[in-house]
Chains A and B, each alone.
Chain A
Amino acid sequence: MPLDTASTYGQTLLRTDGRRWNELRRISASISTQPSTDGSSQFVMGNTVVVCNIVGPREGRGQRDTNNALIETEVTVAPFAQTDRRRRTKGDKRVQELQTTISSAFQAHLFTHLYPRSSITISLHVLSLDGALLASCLNAASLALVDAGVPMPSILAAVTSGVITSTDGITPSDPILDLNNSEELELPFLSVGTVSGLSEHQEDKVSVLIMESRIQIGQNGKKLEAMLAVGVDGCKQVRTIMGEVVRTHGTRILRGRK
């Protein structure tokens, strides 16, 4: 039996790992995992594990912007993170792009004007990688920044979403949420991160959107639109889970204080 989504999904409507189209993998997270840093978190999404440490806001070294804090990101993917052992060099272009994406997402999102001339360093360690690299990094960084007490208008949450294209023309093309590594290799997918609207009456705003695969826009299936809609809704679910993590942690801290 072939174990790829494209050939089995049409028959069972289940993905290879048994999820339906709109189901997230199991998410668990914790914050304040490293007491010696200003903020820290661990974010687990299925088999993807990311640890994040925040240093700062602290005096920026050689920073020219006198009005805002500068966000710097360092991403390290452990050599043992995937099935094949692979050591990534420091100048890996993909990692660099990842760093830039994360930095610019938080640069625009956080209230950096409260910390002029300073810098905030996000250091991310990917311990295990099973898809959703960017999304997990963004989520981990978001939680760690909440832990560090850096003011932000809302929690930035991210997921991946993809689309299953029917091969036989009979079964429909379905958008799917939160792809794992094998699905990412096989299907077109995008990573989307959103922040919630300024009030409850407003919609979420997309702050990060990256897609590296080719897909038709506006054709009969409206694949891209469907992917985006599923992704934005998935971000909402992830944000709820992340908010609950922060709330649980805070309640425990407050109980300990008395």
Chain B
Amino acid sequence: MGISILPPSDSDDDLGSGSPGSPSPSPHDSSSDTSMPDAASTSSSRRPGAGKRPKLSSSQRRRNRILVPGETITDEAQWMRGHGTFSAAAPSSSHASASAGATITATLPGPLHTTNKLLSITPLRSRYHPSIGDLVLGRIVSVDRARWRVDIAAPLLAQLPLSSINLPGGVLRRRTTADELQMRTYFQEGDLLVAEVQGVGNSDGVATLHTRSLRYGKLRNGVFVRVMGEGRGVGVVRGRRQVFTVATVAGSGSGSGSGEVDVALGVNGYCWVSRHVDPEADALEKEKAGKAKMAGAGSRVGMSISNLDELVSNEIYSSQNDEIDYRTRKEIARLCTCITLLADAALKIDEDTVIKAYSAAVEAEMEMMVDEDDEDAVAAAAAAGVDRKSELKKRIVQAVVGGG
């Protein structure tokens, strides 16, 4: 029995036709717009196997149609429900006679994806869900017993066990209680790191990270950027090259640095833009520094493979930033802005788009440059209403979309 809307009691009063018993239909109160759109069409069009491929009724197949939570996707029995959908166990109700199978409804807002017979909805926006092999950036939240807890923008904090990091002194070293006591010398609260998801918990989906590669580890000499991660089609794209080096214009001049900037894009939407580190040159430098230090300390121990390793590894966990020249800093900032603007424009973020956006930004600066000393030019630009950021965004979108 349904709760039907009760009109005000239609009593025989002297108000005549103006009585509330016959209210004129208002725009908000037509019975047609209270039912969910397309509800009628989905239930009525149950065509028996048109062709071999399963097909949804036409209204739901319309490309890029956004489903909202609670909207019926289908009530045909042949479909399987995937992520973002929900089907209640068909209750024995007198109304349910029309539907043989359970109705599949949406639980997330977004377009419908069909993979053979699997229906799933990819949300427009959601938190990062870790999966094995993802390259992520994280920030240490707390130091626990024999593990760190890392914020990777997922519903739960990730774990980084002490046994999953490279310790100074070689790979084959045993993790002792002494190591547990000095965990803060490796990672402290607030440190940023790049890591890979090694495993995801079965019951709760907690990610376990590892940094057992020279590519992973603590981050320094750079800037942190946070964008939306892992949205299908937007944000940081999974599976492309996520750590790459951009040759910037800073290197073309007579600057001291090479002008190259490293970019690390985490699948979780955390990104890191930093001064380029050349591993070989770095190691050589360290060797020299190490020799000098040892000579200064008057140590008798010579350089060997084992303690070279130790020197390098100790450097991995350093929190000391190096001096970065002004031109490189400027290019780092420019790349950060590019990444943020790409995210703003709801575009993909990967190596290709970042480099395209960067070169567009460099070109734009050349063209849009206003001589700050020339007061007339500054005033003219202000009068013309040139919003540099939106202009830049327009150009970046043009470069990225037009080129690919």
A86 within 8 Å of B (CB atoms)? no
* Stretch among B121-129, B239-247, B276-284 lining the A interface: B121-129
Query: Using a Cβ–Cβ cut-off of 8 Å, how many residues does chain B contribute to the interface with A?
Result: 67
Contacts of A230 in B (CB 8 A): 5-6
Q: A199 contacts B20, CB within 8 Å? A: no
A58 to chain B, nearest CB (A): 6
Q: A22-B26, A152-B107, A153-B105 are in contact. Are A240 and B34 (CB under 8 A)?
A: yes
Known: A13-B20, A117-B204, A257-B347. A152 touches B64 (CB 8 A): no
Complex CA–CA separation, A152 to B103 (angstroms): 15
Contact B124 A201 (CB under 8 A): no
Does the CB pair B39–A172 fall under 8 Å?
no
Taking a contact as CB atoms under 8 Å apart, the answer to whether B233 and A24 are in contact is: no
Contact with B along A56-68 (1 / 0, CB 8 A): 1111000000100
Q: Which of B86-94, B208-216, B329-337 contacts A (4 or more CB under 8 A)?
A: B86-94
Task: Identify A250's interface contact among B8, B70, B110, B127, CB under 8 A.
Answer: B110
- Nearest to A39 among chain B residues (CB) is B125
Q: Of the candidates B88, B93, B127, B234, which one forms a contact with A149 in the assembled complex, judged by CB atoms under 8 Å apart?
A: B127
Q: Which residues on the A side are within 8 Å of B233 (C-beta)?
A: 257
Identify which of residues 1-15 in chain B touch chain A, using a CB-to-CB cut-off of 8 Å.
Answer: 2-6, 8-9, 11, 13-15
Which residues of A are found within 8 Å of B99, using beta-carbon distances? 199, 201
Which residue of chain A lies nearest to B8 when distances are taken between CB atoms in the complex?
A174
Query: Which residues of the other chain, A, contact B170 by a CB distance below 8 angstroms?
Result: none
Task: Specify which of B26, B93, B108, B345 is in contact with A201 (CB 8 Å cutoff).
Answer: B93
* Docked complex Cα distance between A151 and B66 (Å): 15
User: Which residues of B lie under 8 Å from residue A32 when comparing CB positions?
Assistant: 125
A-contact 0/1 string along B111-144, CB 8 Å cutoff: 1000000000001111100000000000000000
Question: Are the CB atoms of B29 and A199 closer together than 8 Å?
Answer: no
Q: Mask for B78-91, Cβ within 8 A of A = 1, else 0?
A: 00000010101011
A118 CA / B90 CA spacing, docked (Å): 30
List of B residues within 8 angstroms of A118 by Cβ = 155-156
Q: How far is the CA of A251 from the CA of B70 in the complex (A)?
A: 18
B75 beta carbon closer than 8 Å to chain A: yes
A236 contact set on B, CB distance < 8 A: 34
Contact residues of B between 142 and 174, Cβ < 8 Å to A = 155-157
Assess whether B109 is in contact with A246, with CB atoms less than 8 Å apart: yes
Query: Complex Cα distance A200/B75, Å?
Result: 10
Of the candidates B43, B68, B91, B126, the one whose C-beta lies within 8 Å of that of A247 is B68
Write out the residue numbers on chain B whose beta carbons fall within 8 Å of the beta carbon of A115. Answer: 155-156
Chain B binding surface, main DSSP class: loop
Q: Are A175 and B127 in contact (CB under 8 A)?
A: no
Asked whether, in the complex, the Cβ of B66 is within 8 Å of the Cβ of A250, the reply is yes
In the complex, the answer to whether B346 meets A201 with C-beta atoms within 8 Å is no
User: What's the minimum C-beta distance from A44 to chain B, rounded to whole angstroms?
Assistant: 15
Asked if A183 is an interface residue, CB under 8 A from chain B, the answer is no
**How far, in angstroms, from A227 to B36 measured CA to CA in the complex?**
23
Contacts of B66 in A (CB 8 A): 246-247, 250-251, 254
Q: How far is it, in angstroms, between the C-alpha of A230 and the C-alpha of B34 when the chains are bound?
A: 13
Is the Cβ of A202 less than 8 Å from the Cβ of B69?
no
- The smallest beta-carbon distance between B270 and chain A, in angstroms, is 14
Answer yes or no: A79 CB below 8 A from chain B CBs: no
Give the residues in chain B near A199, CB-CB below 8 Å: 72, 75, 88, 90, 96, 99, 102-103, 105
- Name which residue of chain A comes closest to B21, CB basis: A172
Complex Cα spacing A32 to B228, Å: 12
Asked if B5 and A151 sit within 8 Å, CB to CB, the answer is no
Please give me the residue from chain B that is nearest to A163 by CB atom: B8
Shortest beta-carbon distance from B241 to chain A in Å: 22
Please choose the segment from A45-53, A95-103, A218-226 that sits at the chain B interface, where 4 or more of its residues have CB less than 8 A away.
A218-226
Q: A237-B34, A256-B345 are in contact. Are A151 and B69 (CB under 8 A)?
A: yes
For the complex of A and B, list the 9 residue pairs with the smallest distance between their C-beta atoms, beginning with the closest: A154-B70, A149-B126, A250-B66, A201-B95, A198-B88, A199-B103, A149-B123, A57-B155, A151-B107
Q: List 22 A-B contacts (CB under 8 A).
A: A20-B24, A22-B23, A23-B29, A24-B28, A32-B125, A57-B155, A116-B203, A147-B124, A151-B86, A152-B70, A170-B14, A171-B15, A172-B11, A172-B13, A199-B102, A200-B36, A200-B43, A226-B6, A250-B66, A250-B111, A251-B66, A253-B346
Binding site for A on B (CB under 8 A): 2-6, 8-9, 11, 13-15, 18-20, 23-24, 26, 28-29, 33-36, 39, 43, 64, 66, 68-72, 75, 84, 86, 88, 90-91, 93, 95-96, 98-99, 102-103, 105, 107-111, 123-127, 155-157, 203-205, 233-234, 345-347
